[in-house]
Chain A
Amino acid sequence: DAGVIQSPRHEVTEMGQEVTLRCKPISGHNSLFWYRQTMMRGLELLIYFNNNVPIDDSGMPEDRFSAKMPNASFSTLKIQPSEPRDSAVYFCASSLTNSPLHFGNGTRLTVT
């Protein structure tokens, strides 16, 4: 079991650039979550999908953020344009419905 795989592990970009974060959930899991973690705000849920369909995106901070799940084995979180305040660690997690979450190792994003 390879676990949840996220890429890249680190991303450094300049303000205004587009950033795309990628996630491969555990095979067979039907729910996928995107979280953001900062020292100030802790771990915040941005959006989650069930069976590839976005269910709750109320945590997405603004229209600059978008997420897609084109199939059961891949999801992206895109920020366009990026801003310094978007700097954080972004986690993807997957699960079976109402079962514990399995987190990836995160993408550390730095926007300068």
Chain B
Amino acid sequence: TQLLEQSPQFLSIQEGENLTVYCNSSSVFSSLQWYRQEPGEGPVLLVTVVTGGEVKKLKRLTFQFGDARKDSSLHITAAQPGDTGLYLCAGEGAGANNLFFGTGTRLTVIP
């Protein structure tokens, strides 16, 4: 099992603040995905990063894949209450359909 640790585990911030969520592993992944999960629903894919050092932006969300492809970060600018949810990173290992999910960061944005 390839372990993916996310930090922080819980985060509660005020609307308008910035935040960063981290996803770390000792293993190398061929790609890394970020999902958001809302209560009562399944995870929904936000982005996939493939290349070491890659940065992708999705509106106020910025995703970065580490140079060594072992870690990733998600930065949210000017957080909104609609950003509230469980954020999961998932690393793809060797072989088809070999996806390992991180421990998750539960974000609450207070209006």
A34 to chain B, nearest CB (A): 12
- Does A97 lie within 8 Å of B102, measured CB to CB? no
> A24-43, CB under 8 A of B: which get 1 and which 0?
00000001010000000011
- Does A104 lie within 8 Å of B42, measured CB to CB? yes
**Which chain B residue shows the least CB distance to A31?**
B97
- Does A100 lie within 8 Å of B104, measured CB to CB? no
B3 to chain A, nearest CB (A): 10
With a cutoff of 8 Å between Cβ atoms, the chain B residues found around residue A106 in the complex are: 40-42
**Which A residues fall within an 8 A CB radius of B?**
4, 31, 33, 42-45, 48, 50, 55-56, 91, 93, 95, 97-98, 100-101, 103-106
Q: Which of B94-111 contact A (CB under 8 A)?
A: 96-97, 99, 101-104
- Does B44 lie within 8 Å of A103, measured CB to CB? yes
**Which chain A residue shows the least CB distance to B44?**
A103
Cα separation A105 to B102 with both chains bound (whole Å): 19
**Which chain B residue shows the least CB distance to A55?**
B97
Cα separation A40 to B45 with both chains bound (whole Å): 22
